[in-house]
């Protein structure tokens, strides 16, 4: 191995040692605060749909569309489980077509 490869491997082992020495309790357990990467992606997608519903409801749709859009943007802040995000987001995405008021 050349010097660059061996120094890179030494650097990786140093990083691994530091990560192992970090405490695993409290707020330091996860940088994502209990969210998985899939959950964050689902939250972003449903928030984009919520923005579209909110805009559509304000411009020319019933007020229920705007309210469901706001709910789509807000609920991912309170739900961390990916399957729950997908189920609730799917329901809130479909409901404006079923329930129309205002």
Q: What is the pLDDT of residues 29-51, one digit of tens each?
A: 455 566 788 989 999 999 999 99
> Can you give the pTM of this predicted structure?
0.66
Q: pLDDT per residue over 45-74, tens digit each?
A: 999 999 999 999 999 888 999 999 999 999
CB atoms < 10 A from the CB of 61, how many?
A: 17
Question: Do 73 and 53 touch, CB atoms closer than 8 A?
Answer: no
Length of the chain (residues): 102
Instruction: State the residue for tokens 């329930």.
Output: 99
Mean pLDDT of the chain: 81
């Amino acid at each position: 191995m050349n010097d660059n490869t061996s120094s890179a491997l030494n650097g990786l082992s140093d990083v691994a040692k530091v990560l192992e020495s970090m405490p695993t309790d409290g707020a330091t357990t996860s940088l994502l605060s209990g969210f998985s990467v899939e959950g964050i992606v689902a939250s972003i997608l449903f928030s984009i749909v919520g923005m579209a519903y909110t805009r559509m409801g304000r411009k020319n749709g019933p007020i229920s569309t705007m309210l469901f859009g706001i709910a789509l943007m807000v609920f991912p802040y309170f739900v961390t489980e990916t399957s729950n995000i997908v189920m609730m987001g799917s329901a809130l995405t479909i409901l404006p077509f079923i329930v129309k008021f205002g």
